[in-house]
Amino acid sequence: MANGRRLFLALWPDPAVREALARTAGQAHLACHGRPVAPEHLHLTLAFLGRVHDARLASLVALTEAFPCPAEAFSLDRFGYFPRGGVLWLGSQAPTPRLTTLHHRLWQALACEGLSPPERTFLPHVTLLRHAVPPAPGALPGIALNWHYTQLRLIESVITEEGPRYEGLATSASA
Ligand code: ATP
Ligand code: MG
């Protein structure tokens, strides 16, 4: 699919949450090294679509713009580590039923476009570092960050020689 685009839908932080996330990534970097995600790239993926043919782009933009995103919040208060890729991430200790419902509703809408959800259970997280070493016990600071969101975005991940660059293609409606 030579002319396809790599797409995903994500919660995009407002400037205050972005700054707090970037600060946290800086603290995590001291403990776990690796490469911090650029502040302007910090996000929480709700649906990774992979490569999608250009012919489907207009309907995905329309779907995103029509999608009623509720105004809600969740707490980011737990670090995690994926050995694959050395990903150090920030997530929630407690279950996040509102995010799970949002994820489910989004995939219901995407199913109407013929897209299928992943089989893996949704684990909401913000990637802070890549190629990091696993955190030593007690090495990471305590954190409690409240993220209020009101919209989600359709993003294109453009592969460049310097790594991916994210470009916003559409923003959801407020519910
Ligand atoms: P890179 O892969 O070059 O390190 P990246 O992961 O930031 O960069 P993408 O691979 O385009 O960029 O991914 C965009 C978003 O989608 C990221 O949040 C990523 O974690 C998520 N993602 C990527 N692949 C998958 C997948 N197979 N399943 C679920 N989410 C994915
Ligand atoms: Mg990736």
Q: Tens digit of pLDDT for each residue in 115-139?
A: 999 999 999 999 999 999 999 999 9
One-letter amino acid identity for 101? Answer: T
For the chain, which domains are there?
Answer: 5-23+37-77+91-123+146-174 (3.90.1140.10)
- What pLDDT is attached to residue 3? 78
- Say if strands 72-76 and 145-149 run parallel, antiparallel, or are unpaired: antiparallel
Does the C-beta of 157 come closer than 6 Å to ligand 1? yes
Residue 157 alpha carbon, nearest atom of ligand 1: 11
Q: What's the mean pLDDT when you consider all of the chain?
A: 96
Does the C-beta of 47 come closer than 6 Å to ligand 1? no
Does the C-beta of 6 come closer than 6 Å to ligand 1? yes
Residue of the nearest CA to atom 13 in ligand 1? 157
Q: Which pTM value belongs to this model?
A: 0.95
- What pLDDT is attached to residue 92? 98
Does the C-beta of 167 come closer than 6 Å to ligand 1? no
User: From ligand 1's centre to the CA of 95, what distance in Å?
Assistant: 23
Compute the distance between CA of residue 4 and CA of residue 47 in angstroms, rounded to an integer.
17
- What pLDDT is attached to residue 1? 52
* Mean pLDDT in order along the chain per 10 residues (175 residues): 87 97 98 97 98 96 97 97 98 97 98 94 97 96 96 96 94 88
Instruction: Return the best residue to mutate from 44, 130, 157, 161 for the ligand 1 pocket (most ligand atoms within 8 A of CB).
Output: 157
DSSP 3-30: T-EEEEEEE---HHHHHHHHHHHHHHHH
Give the closest residue to 74 by CA, choosing from 107, 44, 110: 44
Does the C-beta of 27 come closer than 6 Å to ligand 1? no
Contact 144, 36 (CB under 8 A): no
Ligand that lies nearest to the alpha carbon of residue 34, given by its number in the listed order: 1
